[in-house]
A and B are shown apart, each in its own frame.
Chain A
């Protein structure tokens, strides 16, 4: 549907097998200031609808060959915004109901006066204009919503990042050495700011997924190199927590999911990150990549503190935290797993979790496979 077709001079197509009817309708419509085209049967009418994309059609219900009701069915498929007015000499209630059911805007029994036709047609064209306008508005709102997310994300984050950058400079002693007490306070302020930045980032991420911007960018994403990079990237964090990262994939390459690479990376970052920080000293996080005929699977298994059965159904909820005690004190925004779930859902995949308190947790992400390319390049 092309909204630029809201043109000043509407085009009306009259489909009727009676020549006198076509002529009189044409004259009436022309006086309304519309352009008119005519067709003498249903088949020609449909051809002209496809070719000319009229704003409105006036169609006789009773025609030899393709009748008015068939035309209505087809019009709905060609462009549901085309308004249709049905005319017939057999003005039965049944015929009217049937025509309206098939999307006709209104019904005009023969004989009718020029004013009756003009009135109905004017109303029909107005309705078409409004419906196109609503459609345009809906699309503009969607676009605006996407832009707002990007704009807010920039405007919200920029000041926070600038503040944090000053803290970094102060803490590094570049601007002069700090005494222990102010230094400690700035470090605390900086930690709080880091949490706030994470929260803002995560929240914006959710907003972006809700905005539906993800799906448009789907393409085959090779998971092995993506996970290679992630494991490398997270190695320092794992060392810091005294956790070993183990990573295995079946031989050969080309295990690819169909999706958005950046978002999938976010999924595995969040899962690995949790596996590391909620682990115990000397623990392990094992990542395994696999595939079957139509799915790819990534399993993230940790030897951490585990999640009690009663928490399991809730862990993907926003802001739900399993570990609330002071010792394990809240890390991150509480949105990590809901982001995982949202992204995986948007990929028509599944994320499963099983856990044994004290022993560890296994997250399994299943994603639709990317369609195989014709050649194995």
Chain B
């Protein structure tokens, strides 16, 4: 992962948010693959095989970020990309009005590898991404 730029899949249904985040990641020397939603993200995850996923929770559809995250961590079809770190990026209060709500294992869903508040601070985003990629 030294000469090759790391590739980051950004799954978010808001085009402007993707645009702004792409600017941040590009400035950090990463390549960005944008995806417009969970379906698109799922396809690009398998075809592009990114090094990391930034995933919006997108509560407004049934196939949301939680479901995709859980599928990547558990479903057979994602076997080959299972280890890809997933970072939830969402306005915290989308979840349940709280910051750690997503860890509610009570739902039985797999947890992401990290979690960042929306809007993201560029420095915070770049630092988290770097540290997750270093762990890989």
Q: Which residues of A line the B interface, CB within 8 A?
A: 150-151, 153-154, 157-158, 161-169, 172, 174-175, 197, 201, 204-205, 208, 219, 226, 229, 233, 260-263, 265-266, 269
Contacts and interface: CB of A to CB of B under 8 A. Distances in A.
Contacts of A265: 98-101
Contact of A165 (B93, B98, B119): B119
B100 A166 contact: no
B97 A262 contact: yes
B59 interface: yes
Given A161-B119, A269-B99, 11 more contacts: A154-B94, A168-B120, A172-B122, A201-B91, A204-B93, A260-B96, A262-B95, A262-B98, A262-B101, A262-B104, A269-B98
B123 interface: yes
A150 B122 contact: no
A166 B20 contact: yes
Task: Give the most central of B20, B24, B123: most A CB within 10 Å.
Answer: B20
B14 A162 contact: yes
B115 to A, nearest CB: 11
Contacts of B120: 165, 168
Contact of B106 (A151, A165, A204, A219): A219
A338 to B, nearest CB: 14
B23 interface: yes
Interface residues of B, number: 28
A96 B49 CA distance: 78
Contacts of B123: 172
Nearest to A202: B93
B118 A161 contact: yes
Contacts, number: 87
B23 A154 contact: no
A151 B96 contact: no
Nearest to B13: A158
B16 interface: yes
A229 B102 CA distance: 13
A208 B97 contact: yes
Interface in B24-57: 24, 27
B128 interface: no
A165 B97 contact: no
Contact of A161 (B24, B91, B98, B122): B91
B24 A164 contact: no
A169 B104 CA distance: 32
B20 A154 contact: no
B121 interface: yes
Interface of B: 14, 16-17, 20-21, 23-24, 27, 59-60, 91, 93-101, 104, 106, 118-123
A161 B91 CA distance: 8
Q: What are the 6 A-B residue pairs with the smallest beta carbon separation, nearest first?
A: A262-B96, A262-B101, A262-B98, A162-B16, A165-B20, A164-B119
B60 A150 contact: yes
B27 A174 contact: yes
Given A165-B17, A233-B99, A269-B98, A261 B104 contact: yes
A204 B99 CA distance: 15
Contacts of B121: 168, 172
26 contacts: A157-B91, A157-B93, A161-B17, A162-B14, A162-B20, A166-B20, A168-B122, A169-B20, A169-B122, A172-B24, A172-B123, A174-B24, A175-B23, A204-B93, A205-B93, A208-B97, A219-B106, A233-B99, A262-B96, A262-B98, A263-B96, A263-B97, A265-B99, A265-B100, A266-B97, A269-B99
B10 to A, nearest CB: 12
A151 B100 CA distance: 21
Contacts of A174: 23-24, 27, 122
Choose among A153, A158, A208 the residue with the greatest number of B CB atoms under 10 Å from its CB. A158
B55 to A, nearest CB: 15
Contact of A150 (B59, B99, B104): B59
Contacts of B20: 162, 165-166, 168-169
A265 B60 CA distance: 23
A48 B14 CA distance: 58
A219 B96 CA distance: 15
Given A161-B119, A162-B14, A229-B100, A154 B27 contact: no
For B17, B120, B123, the residue with the greatest tally of chain A CB atoms inside 10 Å of its CB is: B17
Nearest to A200: B93
B98 A153 contact: no
A165 B16 contact: yes
B122 to A, nearest CB: 4
Contact of A169 (B23, B59, B93): B23
